[in-house]
Each structure stands twice: as C-alpha cells, then as structure tokens.
Structure 1
C-alpha cells in the first residue's frame, strides 16, 4: 500500500501552502467578523442588531458551497470585479465561520458577571473602557475553547475550494486519483493525516492562548479545565 508514498507525498504536499493560506486568511477574517458581529448583536441600536442578525442567520442558514459559488461566480458579474479563486475561498471561509463566531462572542460577553460591570461603572469607566478593560479580557477566556473548534472546522472546510480549482491538498489528491487509482486508499490516508496534523497545531496554539489569557486575568486554569474538574468531582 505504501510502495508509491515517496511519489505521491510530494504531489499532495504541493497543495499544503494553499491550504495553509486559505486557513490562515479565513481564520483572520473570522476573528474580525466574529467580534464585529458579536458586539453588533449586543449593540444598543436596533438597526445595528437587525443588520447583524441578518448576516449571522444568512450565512449560518445557507450552504457553504453555494456561498462559494455565489461569491466566485455571481459577485464578479454584479460588481464587475473578478476574484482570484483563493481570495474568493478566504472570503467565504471568513464570512461563513464569522457568523458562527459571532454567537460565540455574544455568549461569552454576556457570561461576564454583572457585578464586574457594576464595579466598572462605579469606577466611572466609559462604555468603551468597560468593554476593553473589563468585559473582553474575561470573555476571551470563555470563547477560546469554542474558537478552537471553529478554527478546526474552518480548516476542514478548506477542501471545498476544490470546486473552484484552488490547488489545495484535496484538489491535489483528486488530480492524482485518475492515474493512481490503485493507490486511492493511500492518497486519502495521507490527506487525512495532513488535516489531522494541522488540526493538532491549531489546538496546541489555542490551548497555549487559553492559558495565557487565563493568567492575564488572574485565573489559574481556563474555565474549560475547571468545568471538567467539576464533572469529575474535583471541584475548583
């Protein structure tokens, strides 16, 4: 089964830079949109909340593949601007997962104890100061585990860029499949391992960020670990 690994592996690895670029760009856009939309859902203005809700529900409630086709094929016709395949892919990954991330941000912000806000008000903090100095530092600790899952899902979604001819990992495998059909099991196994390794890297980085964020606000362990301790009977 592994006789042709030395031949197939370099071909599959040639798609790795495209997968990394799509994932990194998608994650960066997801973070920006998640915070913008998440805070938009909590805005005092009903208009802002309404517009944000349309975005969130629109991208959560429709097919990611159809979104990809719409942005790559239809948007250039409407605005007269042709998008590169990778650029279109990053836009779809960011817009789609940013809609899910918005709910993560909203929930984390709302989970900050009311007493913290009251204390900030007593100290005459402005609304902006309350958000940036009191609410978000605590909310980030709560949202990081969920963002870890979201980013891994985004990584796996990079495979849909195959449909618009981005030569990422999955596309390279499909290019090889007709000529190397007898090694189809090996091709897909290598792809699975590559996605798994990338997911492990994302998890490692996110867990490091969890610990760093927790230490910055004086917590000895992320909330996820404390929750597991409660379930196992260890308390806090």
Structure 2
C-alpha cells in the first residue's frame, strides 16, 4: 500500500479525469439517445433511416475500434481530435446508440393511447410529445438509463489507450514505476465500484422522486375532480 499512498495525487488526478469523461460522455449520450430515439419514431424516412443506420453501426461495432478510428484514422482525412474529445465522442455515440433504443421503446409503449387522447384535445404533435408523452415515458427510461451510465463509466477505462490520463492510465503509470500491481489495481477496482454504486444510488433516488411526483400529481387531480363535483 506504500505505492498507493505515495502516488495518491496521481490517482486523484486520474479519478478527476475519469469523472470528467463520464460526465461529458453521459451528457452526449443523453442528447444522442433522445435525438436518435425520436428520429426512429418519425414518420419521415429521411429521419428514420439515418437514425437506424447510426444505431446499428455503433451498436454493431467495437467501442475500442470506434475510439481508435476517431483518434488515429481521422487525421488521415485532415481531422485531428484532442484525445479527450475523441474519447468523449466515442463513449457518447456508442452508449447513445444503445440508449436510443431505450427512448424509442419507452415512448412507443405509451404513445398510442396518449396520442389518441391528445388528438381529441387538439394538441399539436410537438406539443403532445413535449408535454405529455416524453414526461410520462421518463420513469420507464430511468432504470435502463442507469445501466447505460454505469456501463459508460466502466468503459472509460479504455480511454487510456488513446493517451487520456484517466484512472486506469494513472494506475498503469504507477505500476510501471514501482513494479507493484496488486495493491494499485485493487485500489482502482474499489474506486470504480464506488463510482458505479453512486450512479446506482442516484438512479434509485430519481426513480423514487419521479414516483412521488406522479403520486402527488394523481392526488391533486383527484382533489380537483372532487372539488368540481362538490361545486356542481
């Protein structure tokens, strides 16, 4: 454990980089998921087909290959990406392709009945999607979204292969310097587990929060209905 204590600042820097990549990759993942997922539900082929091709390509190929392609292959076409940018893009696009199917499935499972009700009320498609269908679909999205984010966090260990100094990169540097392997990698294993567990707790909290909000909204609607009946 001496090496762990001595090189704690280096591990701390690696941890901060891992958190940065996770947050940026997660944000991109959510944007991509909703954009591609909604496009897959579109009636217009010009939106639906490209979204389907994107999802199948990024789900059907290796994340590591995608990361290498962005970092090592794009320079041959005159596009040079910073290592962090390439890592975030690869993680966000790859995980976003998986999460897009979560969005599509959650919305499709609620769209039919809600759409008929919204049409009866005269709501435009964009308005009913934004005000009714998406908010009611979010609780169903949360558990799989939590799994996607945990998976993204674990996949950040690959960014060291494109020279991003993350937690795994720092551990490898310490191991090559000190020759100690077990203590270093047990330490980062615990750190990755702790981060994953925090993401799981956050997902559980969000699920409970949405459940409470829906319960409060249902009670409010019942109270309003009773007040109208009483007034009549």
1:188 aligns with 2:185: yes
Q: What does residue 170 of structure 2 align with?
A: 172
Q: What does residue 218 of structure 1 align with?
A: 215
- What does 1:1-236 correspond to in 2, within 5 Å? 2-78=1-77, 80-112=78-110, 114-181=112-179, 183-218=180-215
Q: Distance in 2 between matches of 1:165 and 1:44?
A: 42
Q: Distance in 2 between matches of 1:167 and 1:12?
A: 10
- What count of residue pairs does the alignment treat as equivalent? 217
Q: Distance in 2 between matches of 1:196 and 1:146?
A: 18
Q: Distance in 2 between matches of 1:209 and 1:120?
A: 27
Judged with a 3 Å threshold, the aligned counterparts in structure 2 of structure 1 residues 219 and 149 are, in CA distance, closer, same or farther, namely: farther
Give yes or no for contact 2:3–2:178 (8 Å, CA) kept in 1.
Answer: no
Greater share of residues in helix:
2
TM-score of the aligned structures, taking structure 2 as reference length: 0.88
CA shift, 1:219, in A, is 7.3
CA shift, 1:3, in A, is 4.2
Give yes or no for contact 1:137–1:213 (8 Å, CA) kept in 2.
Answer: no
CA shift, 1:113, in A, is 6.0
Judged with a 3 Å threshold, the aligned counterparts in structure 2 of structure 1 residues 30 and 50 are, in CA distance, closer, same or farther, namely: same
Q: Distance in 2 between matches of 1:8 and 1:118?
A: 61
Give yes or no for contact 1:8–1:187 (8 Å, CA) kept in 2.
Answer: no
Decide which moves more: 151-160 or 118-127. Answer: 118-127
Structure 1 outlier segments of 4+, above 4 Å = none
Q: Distance in 1 between matches of 2:202 and 2:127?
A: 28
Q: Distance in 2 between matches of 1:108 and 1:31?
A: 14
Bigger-Rg structure (1/2): 2
Q: Distance in 2 between matches of 1:74 and 1:5?
A: 36
CA shift, 1:204, in A, is 2.0
Give yes or no for contact 1:137–1:217 (8 Å, CA) kept in 2.
Answer: no
Q: What does residue 232 of structure 1 align with?
A: none
Give yes or no for contact 1:26–1:91 (8 Å, CA) kept in 2.
Answer: yes
Give yes or no for contact 1:59–1:95 (8 Å, CA) kept in 2.
Answer: yes
